[in-house]
Structure 1
Amino acid sequence: MYINQYPWLKKIYIEIIKNYKKNQLHNIILIKSYNIHNTFTIIMEISKWIFCTNKIGIRSCGKCTGCLLIVSKNHPDFYILYQKKNTFIEVDIIKNTIKKILNTSQQYGSKIIWIPSYKKLTIYGINTLLKIIEEPPKDTFFFIGSSINHNIHKTFSSRCLKYKIYPPRENIGLAWIIKNTNIKKKKKSLIILRNNNNNPELSKKLIENNIFSLRKYVLYNIRCAIIKNNYFILLPILSKKNIYIKINWIILLLLDVLKFKKNFFTFLINIDQLQLIQEISKKYTYNFIQIILKSWIKCQNKLIHIQYINQELLILQELLKWEYNKHSK
């Protein structure tokens, strides 16, 4: 069973399956997660089990026609409401799907409507769905995925049974990284995990794509910039690809400096960069680090939410603030 690879997801999976077996499953289920791909995994596994004709307890066989049709996303009673990146789900698609599910199930069983990303729904789409989920058709289940921080329409939310998936405990995430990547050293695995907000899947992705290996190079150049008091040397390094990730490394480093100044050593993220953290702590005041930290966070948000923004100019502005400060000790 694929979900066995992610032990922190099994609790929700098992609870939903057990409720289905008791005929007590809520018709509208909203799953919010720190990593929206987790909702894909759970919903696909639940759908496989529901349509499996050779169930083994809470497991699907993975070989029957029902399982294979779900994996290929071709099951006649499995509807996916999804649009390409940066586009919303059209109301007509929702209406056409509702018309189909109001007819008898083609396989004479349950019907599942999967909305992988709630944020793809417009207010018109939400209102259209509300009309049907007020009194959902018999044996019809709606599964909706969402990121954990996304705001949900209040009326829509009130109609759903909600589940939240948080990152696994650090020791679980650490063991998972060591098992599933080529990083076997505990300290290095811990640094990667903490730099990715305890998100094991993202940590694995950055390891496999060799992106995390850039971190030491970026931090080394930050140290050079501080020693030389010349932050402009960081511009060509930061303004190339993976800008968001590199800025995140700066933010986490500055957070560590604030923790260091308050003697919160246990909670440091960059435990391999204690010398750099100490040097920044000695050079700058607590208030100045706070100001710079907030400014980098705003910069990161602009890069995420504003299309076609001049990234190089934005980073240059941040480096200028660092370069011409009057708050160093």
Structure 2
Amino acid sequence: MILDEEAKDNYFKGRGAQVNPHNRFAKDDYVKEHQEGIDDWEEEDHKTTFIMGQSKSIVNKVESPDVGMAYSLNPYQGCEHGCTYCYARNAHEYWGFSAGLDFERKIIVKKDAPQLFKKFLERKGWNADVISLSGNTDCYQPAERQFKITRQLLQIALEYRQPIGMITKNSLILRDLDLLSEMAKLNLCTVYVSINSLNEQLRQKMEPRTTTAKQRLKVVEQLSKAGIPMGVMVAPLVPGLSDHEIPAILKAVANAGAQAAGYTVVRLNGAIAGIFEDWLRKNYPDRFEKVWHAIQSCHGGNLNDSRFGERMRGEGNIAKLIKDSFKLHCRLNHLNQQVVKLDSGLFKVPQAQFSLF
């Protein structure tokens, strides 16, 4: 539900963010005050554009102790999925863009990622710790269909016997079932699918360019049948909007073959607070106050808590109800009964092949 006809006319369909807030690192900010104010003002194109980026390195060591990964690899910066709550939005400001609409429509493509990945794996002393694809934006976002960087990275990982963890909310991962199956036979991969709601209307508004929950359950089922250890991240849960779905989600993912599940409670740090507030007011004006105060109640009256260990799960009565419900339904659905440990002992750098001609 949109607030009024004027808001409806200005709503960018297919986008999560509806605003492009000022980049905190930028000195200048340009705004259009009046339609007739500037004769030569050019309306900004809302189509997705791809920017070829160059990086010095591609694998990043993760210093945060509560994100469940040691190293991450992100072939793209920015994400066309457009999830309104995405924590990676703030990182887009470091590239000179806005965390709002820019994050969804100006995608940086790291075409040199495969070469940099090989260079990283061939470093002296690398002990083949698990590398996560992706720790920031989705490695199977729509750009991957065109650029196929993630597939190249998986081919390298299989060649080097490098263990990989993956998380996605895009069914494009099924394209790479052949590689993932081979890696699974060697205990080199695990995959998590993100499902935070089974409500299709909510998904279309909150995660506008992602695949449906039904299709994500199909991904869990097909990868699980192929022998790939599957987990699901019910993240982030938005209290007052999606937290009541915990029992249904966990039952559905368990029936689809998931072995593990985790969750986070939404937190709105940096520019995300304003982006999410604008989105919530426009889409759920009747529930705005309830949801907004519920989020605050999970973070000590604030929209965000930066303390490691607390920031992902929240605290207070609502956060405890979420935690207890999640724990109960994981137990009822036999989730999280085993810990998957990938094999780093198979890692090897392939010997160079020299031609005799």
**TM-score, length of structure 1 as denominator length:** 0.28
Q: For the pair shown, which has the larger CA radius of gyration, 1 or 2?
A: 1
**TM-score, length of structure 2 as denominator length:** 0.26
Instruction: Considering Cα pairs closer than 8 Å and 6+ residues apart, tell me whether 1 or 2 has the greater RCO.
Output: 2
Q: Judging by fraction of residues, say which structure has more strand.
A: 2
Q: Judging by fraction of residues, say which structure has more helix.
A: 1
